[in-house]
Amino acid sequence: MTAAYRIRRQIGIDAGHRIRLHGSKCRHLHGHRYTIEAVCEADQLAGEGEQAGMVLDFAFLKDEMIGQIDAPCDHGFIAELADIELLAMFTPAEAGRVEFVEKLDTAVREQGFAVPDHTALGTKLYVIPVPPTAENLARHWFERLAPRVATRSEGRARLARVVVWETPNCAAEWP
Ligand SMILES: Nc1nc2c(c(=O)[nH]1)N=C([C@H](O)[C@H](O)COP(=O)(O)OP(=O)(O)OP(=O)(O)O)CN2
């Protein structure tokens, strides 16, 4: 077994979602206080410079978690692209429903998520291509965060895992 230095950091966000095809209560619109943990590892610590002795500065990791997860999702609603009825609720009065969803679809195909700049009620919306379960969110946020961890550590650290707690009792992780 190879030994690696490992760090972990958590952030918390509040967001709404629903599991469209859930057989029970989770199909209702509801919210969670999500706790998201990122685990990073490196075979060697930084030898010099401002990160000397570190896998990755906790503050740099926080910056990236805020940028990739908190900024687009906190106090927003996380929706699945296929949840057409839900997206209809967010369609601004002046926009066509088909046009609104087509734009979301293009952004999701190009970058893996969509953040429309204008929605009904001015609410924050974050659209992903899969149902917003804890499992899918763990993988989605892992894929956003991994390249940022590599960059901020100058290639020294890798993102090993993202854990998403939906409630104090229930968590999913990727990988
Ligand atoms: N494997 C998964 N199962 C469930 C998910 C999920 O993302 N992955 N999500 C939900 C619901 O969205 C829900 O938020 C979790 O509900 P629940 O089981 O009610 O969790 P609680 O901790 O609140 O349990 P209580 O029994 O209500 O205290 C469902 N399943």
Summarize pLDDT for 64-97 with one digit per residue, the tens: 999 999 999 999 999 999 999 999 999 998 888 9
Which pLDDT score is estimated for 69?
Answer: 98
Task: Please indicate whether residue 173, judged by its CB atom, sits closer than 6 Å to ligand 1.
Answer: no
Which pLDDT score is estimated for 34?
Answer: 98
CATH code at 5-174: 3.30.479.10
Shortest-distance atom of ligand 1 to CA 137: 7
pTM equals 0.96
Decide if pLDDT at 141 tops 70.
yes
The encoded tokens of residue 126 equal 């974050």
ipTM of the complex: 0.91
Decide if pLDDT at 41 tops 90.
yes
Beta-sheet strand order (sheet of 170-174): 125-128, 76-80, 5-17, 30-42, 158-167, 170-174
Residue 130: how many other CB atoms lie within 10 Å: 14
Q: Where are the domains of the chain?
A: 5-174
Choose one of 32, 33, 35, 170 to mutate for the ligand 1 pocket test, by most ligand atoms within 8 angstroms of C-beta: 170
Distance from the alpha carbon of residue 122 to the mean position of ligand 1, in angstroms: 28
Residues 6+ apart with CB under 8 A from 3: 43
Task: Please indicate whether residue 166, judged by its CB atom, sits closer than 6 Å to ligand 1.
Answer: yes
Summarize pLDDT for 12-21 with one digit per residue, the tens: 999 999 999 8
Tokens 């706790």 -> residue: 35
Which pLDDT score is estimated for 140?
Answer: 98
Shortest-distance atom of ligand 1 to CA 169: 22
Choose one of 21, 167, 173 to mutate for the ligand 1 pocket test, by most ligand atoms within 8 angstroms of C-beta: 167
Instruction: State how far the Cα of 154 lies from the Cα of 166, in Å rounded to an integer.
Output: 32
* For ligand 1, atom 6: residue with the closest CA: 133
Which pLDDT score is estimated for 1?
Answer: 58
Amino acid at 41: E
From the list 79, 81, 101, 83, the residue with the least C-alpha distance to 92 is: 101
The rounded mean pLDDT for the chain is: 96
Task: Please indicate whether residue 167, judged by its CB atom, sits closer than 6 Å to ligand 1.
Answer: yes
Exposure class string for 12-35: b at 16+ Cβ within 10 A, else e: ebebbbbbbeeeeeeeeeeebebb
Shortest-distance atom of ligand 1 to CA 19: 12
Mean pLDDT of the region 29-35: 98
